[in-house]
Structure 1
Amino acid sequence: MSESGHSQPGMYGPGRRRRRRRERDPGLPGQNLSGPGRERRDGSEESLGPTLQKTPIILAKPPSERSKPSQAGAPSSSSSSSSASVEKPIVLIKSREEGKPALPVDGAAQGPGIAAKVEKEGQRPTQPVYQIQNRGMASAAPGSSVDPVIGQAKLLPPEKMKHSIKLVDEQMNWCDSAMEYLLDQTDMLVVGVIGLQGTGKSTVMSLLSANTPEEDQRSYVFRTQSQEIKERGGNQSSGIDFFITQERIIFLDTQPILSPSILDHLINNDRKLPPEYNLPHTYVEMQSLQAAAFLFTVCHVVLVVQDWFTDLSLYRFLQTAEMLKPSTPSTSHESSGSLGSDEGSEYYPHIVFLQNKSRRDDFCPRTLKKMHSVIDKLMMHSHLKYKGTLSMLDCNIFPGLPRDYLGSEVNLFLLPVMDSEGDEARAGSGAPLFSLLPGYRGHPSFTSLVSKLRSQVLSMSRCQLSHTILTEKNWFHYAARIWDGVKKSSALSEYSRLLL
């Protein structure tokens, strides 16, 4: 009885307390603060080893997580819990915020890399932070740089075009290859050109867009006629060619209107005509009208190039294309009952008459005044903006002429023959006395006139093409819809039947 009474205090009394003091590590003074002794009430000694390894991590837990049961009691999950605790340094950053909820488990599973990045950048490790980082890394192109602040790819300059591409192919079908060069911005200018065969449309468009007269014509963005094509009377351009500059100027070069070479190609090669056209010349004329009506709808400026003054059939063609032009889409709140309101809301581009390959006599002030008078009388009933937006008198080409000398000044500009300067220089080199003096041309140099024309064309007002402001990509879709409407136009079909 006395032995049992003496043994019981040794097992449950002072002996038990002395054993527990020996099991505690004196080098860990904060052990009794974290609470593992209070959590483990079963007194099992198998969990003492893992507890000693995880004590530095447990000390770093916020007070809100101290009441959670420890995972060290499960021997089967000791390795997984140890690895999860090693990957927890992100809670060290969360503990600096007062009153903030803890980071979700899926956020902590992202690894210590994101936590170090967030701590380095001084951002709070909330969920949108690493979502921005992941989104920026995923959207960045292989060759682009990533902004370290927002984690997104930096803006790169638009891709520069080196040559023109097809907007409408030879079969008059729409092409989508130009879409990759367009941006989502509204500051753009669309310039188109029409003219008869061999007037120099592609050369003028190349000089206005990206080339200079000193460059080789074989490197122009719009291909010019080769000597072989000139000898056999062929045409170089087919369909509609597209080119956009770094200044966001869109140039559209078209095939020649009323082209005899296209008609000859249709007849000699036995090309099958569409079922709605019976004769080849009707098909060629309708192709020309479709291209002109399309440019009158989607362009801010349309150049009409001619190499001699003047062809009355050209002005008749322009008036026909204006009549068959598709109507501009109107807003829903506009009423369609009044004819005057419809005409006021209809869009018409600026039209510029470019007299290419002009002779010396064409630059005479009296001849220039007659040209303006003829064009004004031929276009007086047109809604196209053919006057008031371009002036040769403002370019100091004719110094001393007053502004009211031309009377009604139209948008007319004269360009001399491109290689006339070299021919005159070679002709004047035979005279030894005047070899150092420039020859008299009667007009400024070709390079100077091209520069003045370019500055005036590109500074024209950019009217709104539709009832909404169009970006470059929206303009492309709008132009595709207009081209499809032009090809299926009932007015053009009825006009083609009247030509028979």
Structure 2
Amino acid sequence: MSESGHSQPGMYGPGRRRRRRRDRDPGPPGQNLSGPSRDREFVPRERRDGSEEPPGPVLPKTPIILAKPPGERSKPSAPVSGTPMEKPVMLIKPREEGGKSGVTPDAAPPASGTGVTKLEREGQRPTQPVYQIQNRGMGSAASSGAVDPVIGQTKLLPPEKMKHSIKLVDDQMSWCDSAMEYLRDQTDMLVVGVLGLQGTGKSTIMSLLSANTPEEDQRMYVFRAQTQEIKERGGNQSSGIDFYITQERVIFLDTQPVLSPSILDHLINNDRKLPPEYNLPHTYVEMQSLQIAAFLFTVCHVVIVVQDWFTDINLYRFLQTAEMLKPSTPSASHESTGSSGSEDGSEYYPHIIFLQNKASREEFCPRTLKDMHVIVDTLMTHSHLKYKGTLSMLDSNIFPGLERDYLGTEVNLFLLPMMESEGDEALARAGSGTTPLFSLLPGYRGHPSFSSLVAKLRSQVLAMSRNQLSHTILTEKNWFHYAARIWDGVKKSSALSEYSRLLS
């Protein structure tokens, strides 16, 4: 009776239902012990939650689907108006305030870390809200994700500014590729080169035309000028070809002195081995100078010839020889020959400027200036270089009393005086025994100041016409590859080799 008494209520209670489930779904073999225990865990909880028991037999995968930690199952049992309704509102709030100008402190970037932790607790990836908050200053396009902010910032960055010159051709006459990182894919550029004898001030002039002023310390110039020690021992500062590009996309090429006696002395005294194609040191020095000049005549828009006295006939002979040995301009393809090439398919020749550096007061006399123009025009009569018609000292208002037709044939000639400080000028006047009439007024110089003349020269050089160097329009990077190909062709030129053989 005791057994029947205890079992009688079990027929209508939970014990009866558990036995009926065990009889209905005994489970797979080997899991008789684990199956009932799982049923005892989940069935009472489902009854407390108010869930209905599924009709029919229970699938064996049901315990696997419902096998979750108790802490995770307790969250959905919270009231409906509680936390789950507030969290989506907090996630949308930074997204709405991210693109506004008046951002609250809660939506500022320092507080974005809290939003990330909330997203991580919800099991979501913190991508879009954080991305919009961090790039809220990029505008509507950046906030919508249409433009990559990294690419947009790169396009807005100014070109990298060079602090000093770098090597384009080293002292071994080898091409260097370090200038490539400063060049861009744009075609509005001007290439300016310089030639001159030793000690004429080429590097100083190029520094003043590119990035420096006469008031700065010469040790800070982008092209290193001769130091006092090098001047005393008669050496040269520059070697090979130096490269510098300005923010205005003007490329300046400073070169070693042509026909340099210091380079020849270095070859002889140091027993430096010559290339096999050269037998004598002076032949090698002259051929180096011709290679550099022929290279500049091919890849530059403007070539400045610097002199410190008027004038050296050998320098004009050297220029005409380099013009004769200049490599020909690469022609266009057979289909476009004569249409997209240079003017009428002719050879390319740059503008050439004769710069008279360290000019004296007498050279600024109008009569002397006229004689200088006539001499240069006579020496360059048979040259194809564009040596006149593109630069004028009369247009610069340096000689306000002279008319334009005073110079019959005005060549590209410009005069620069000595670059001296006020203290040096005072010492010079004291040493000569001459004192000005009024001590508070500056002495008579006969020409404008050095700084004003350099500014006038720079404005005229940068205003030169930028003719097409080859049959196609070159970008800065294309110019670099074109110049490398021209330099390699100059070193392997059969005309230069034949001329070297005639010299030796």
Output the TM-score relative to the length of structure 1. Answer: 0.73
Q: Distance in 2 between matches of 1:151 and 1:158?
A: 14
Match of 1:269 in 2: 270
Matched to 2:499, the amino acid is Y
Distance 1:200 1:122, change over 3 A: closer
Matched to 1:283, the amino acid is Y
* Counterpart secondary structure, 2:406: coil
Q: Distance in 1 between matches of 2:74 and 2:477?
A: 61
Tell me if the contact between 1:336 and 1:342 (Cα under 8 Å) persists in the aligned partners. Answer: no
- Residue 479 of structure 1 pairs with residue 479 of structure 2: no
How much is the aligned-residue C-alpha RMSD, in angstroms?
4.2
Match of 1:289 in 2: 290
Q: Distance in 1 between matches of 2:279 and 2:438?
A: 63
Match of 1:194 in 2: 195
Match of 1:181 in 2: 182
Q: Distance in 2 between matches of 1:479 and 1:260?
A: 28
- Structure 1 residues not aligned, in runs of 5+: 1-6, 58-88, 94-109, 124-128, 137-145
Match of 1:387 in 2: 388
Matched to 1:452, the amino acid is K
Structure 2 matches for 1:13-412, cutoff 5 A?
42=59, 44=62, 47-48=65-66, 50=68, 112-117=125-130, 155-333=156-334, 344-412=345-413
Distance 1:405 1:421, change over 3 A: farther
- Structure 2 residues not aligned, in runs of 5+: 1-10, 22-42, 77-87, 93-122, 137-141
Q: Distance in 2 between matches of 1:39 and 1:402?
A: 116
Tell me if the contact between 2:208 and 2:214 (Cα under 8 Å) persists in the aligned partners. Answer: yes
Distance 1:37 1:260, change over 3 A: farther
Tell me if the contact between 2:342 and 2:468 (Cα under 8 Å) persists in the aligned partners. Answer: no
* Counterpart secondary structure, 2:212: coil
Distance 1:270 1:404, change over 3 A: same
Q: Distance in 1 between matches of 2:427 and 2:183?
A: 45
Q: CA deviation at 1:451?
A: 0.8
Q: CA deviation at 1:47?
A: 4.1
* Counterpart secondary structure, 1:394: coil
Q: CA deviation at 1:410?
A: 1.0
Matched to 2:234, the amino acid is G
* Counterpart secondary structure, 1:434: coil
Candidates 438, 447, 450, aligned match of 1:446: 450
* Counterpart secondary structure, 2:404: coil
User: Number of paired residues?
Assistant: 423
Match of 2:441 in 1: 437
User: What are the superposed Cα offsets for residues 295-338 of structure 1, whole Å, 9 maximum, x if unpaired?
Assistant: 1111111000011111111111111111111111221036879x
* Counterpart secondary structure, 1:483: helix
* Counterpart secondary structure, 1:112: coil
Pair member with larger Rg: 2
Matched to 1:483, the amino acid is W
Distance 1:42 1:169, change over 3 A: same
Q: CA deviation at 1:112?
A: 1.3
Q: CA deviation at 1:245?
A: 1.8
- Residue 494 of structure 1 pairs with residue 503 of structure 2: no
Q: Distance in 2 between matches of 1:39 and 1:310?
A: 116
Question: Which stretch shifts more, 429-438 or 311-320?
Answer: 429-438
Q: Distance in 2 between matches of 1:235 and 1:287?
A: 15
* Counterpart secondary structure, 1:166: strand
* Counterpart secondary structure, 1:449: helix
Tell me if the contact between 2:192 and 2:301 (Cα under 8 Å) persists in the aligned partners. Answer: yes
Distance 1:382 1:38, change over 3 A: farther
Match of 2:461 in 1: 457
Matched to 2:126, the amino acid is G
* Counterpart secondary structure, 1:352: strand
Output the TM-score relative to the length of structure 2. Answer: 0.72
Matched to 1:42, the amino acid is L
Q: CA deviation at 1:294?
A: 0.5
Identity %: 75
Tell me if the contact between 2:436 and 2:442 (Cα under 8 Å) persists in the aligned partners. Answer: no
* Counterpart secondary structure, 1:374: helix
Question: Which stretch shifts more, 217-226 or 399-408?
Answer: 217-226
* Counterpart secondary structure, 1:414: strand
Matched to 1:444, the amino acid is P
Q: Distance in 1 between matches of 2:209 and 2:135?
A: 51
Q: CA deviation at 1:345?
A: 3.4
